Copies of this chain bind each other. A is one copy, B any other.
Amino acid sequence: MKIAVLGSGNGGCAVAADFALKGHDVYLFDFEEFNENINAIMKNGGIFVDGDFVGFAEIKYAGHDIEKVITGADLIMVVRPAFGTKLFAEAAKGYIQKGQKIVICPGSCGGSLIFKKGLGLELEDESIIVSETSTLPYACRVIAAGKVHIYIKLLGGIYLAAIPSRLTENVLIDLKEVYPGIVPAKNVLQTTLQNGNPVIHPAVTLLNAALVEREKGDFYFYEEGVTPSVGRLMEAVDKERIEIGKKLEIEIIPNPVLGLIQGYMQESNYDTGYSKGRGFKGIKAQSKLDNRYMNEDVGYGLVFMSELGKQIEVETPIMDSIINIASVIMGKEYREMKSRTPETLGLSSYTVDELINVL
């Protein structure tokens, strides 16, 4: 297959390399301001990979010509943080053809809805299948230009949903070879809610905020940063997320249980499950507070869940408290920024029943 990968960061490089090592023709795009990996990959002719899997992945093209990357691609993998979703949709619009399948990987809070809207397509349009995964299928970091380290590739617990969800199997079939652990979700609300990052990252960051600032990230985010009190805070957030899921008839798997399934963890708890987990070893903290752990996982993730909770009458006092305090310490009014809310996803007028049935 021709695979288009949009995004050349940690996740984009891992996805591109994984598909290429499975023998697919991979074309990689990023915007001109992100050219470090692109240039190295172009020069080397591919991506060096080490860690959980190892090799040199030949990449057919790495560059800034989105038309060349998208045209004729069977599968378009969009791999970027939440704030980039709309930008990629705008760049891709006009080049995407009927019959192409798009995977927002990961959805990072309803990314498939944002992308579809960004392409100018109605929710009901089935000519192009837009889907999303619940999580990035790797813990990975670019450790040098054109070289990605895979801490782990997830064994399972990767959910996929298309819009509408009865099209999910059409995409799943193309992903199974590279991601044998991928399973269908009920709908994109499940992939969005099953994303564990908003449960994990803000809690760890908040209770280590002074240390992040003081040490500029020079400590291990999970191994050192997760203590029993951090675990209790993650658990409290997770409980609220699970309640939101219940109201929407979606069973949300608690984070530590999913961590076992994915291979991140060896113990199913909110404390040593993280601090001793195989998939969390060696990951340094963010170098400053102004980072996606807050900007994405609070500004998009928790704000979205809290607003969704309001809409369907599920209380989220702990999420709300984290949003409030994060807003103060970051000097950003995350809730008022409305980066991702049921409204921005076009879902704010739906009742619980409509949310369950439309998607």
Contacts and interface: CB of A to CB of B under 8 A. Distances in A.
Interface stretch (A183-191, A221-229, A350-358): A221-229
A210 interface: yes
A333 to B, nearest CB: 12
A322 B326 CA distance: 11
A329 B235 CA distance: 10
A214 interface: yes
B208 A329 contact: no
Interface string A193-234: 000000000001011111101100000000011111110110
Contact of A328 (B232, B324, B329): B232
A289 B224 CA distance: 17
A211 to B, nearest CB: 5
B321 A236 contact: no
A94 interface: no
Contacts of A318: 324-325, 328
Contacts of A213: 227-229
Contacts of A210: 204, 207-208, 211, 224-227, 229-230
A25 interface: no
Contacts of A324: 317-318, 320-321
Contacts of A226: 210
Chain copies in the assembly?
Answer: 2
B236 A214 contact: no
Contacts of A331: 232
Most central of A208, A209, A226, A331 by chain B CB within 10 Å = A209
Q: Nearest 4 pairs between A and B by C-beta? A: A321-B321, A229-B329, A213-B227, A321-B324
Contacts of A321: 320-322, 324-325
A213 B289 CA distance: 21
A210 to B, nearest CB: 5
Nearest to A325: B321
Nearest to A231: B329
A132 to B, nearest CB: 30
A13 to B, nearest CB: 31
A256 to B, nearest CB: 17
A209 B208 CA distance: 7
A328 B211 contact: no
Contacts of A225: 210
Interface string A304-345: 000000000000011011101100111100000000000000
Contacts of A228: 213
A226 to B, nearest CB: 7
Which of A211, A232, A317 has the largest number of chain B CB atoms within 10 A?
A211
Interface string A271-290: 00000000000000000010
Contacts of A232: 328-329, 331
Nearest to A317: B324
B317 A233 contact: no
A207 B329 contact: yes
8 contacts: A208-B209, A208-B211, A213-B227, A214-B227, A232-B328, A232-B331, A233-B328, A317-B324
Contacts of A207: 206-210, 329
B233 A224 contact: no
A206 to B, nearest CB: 7
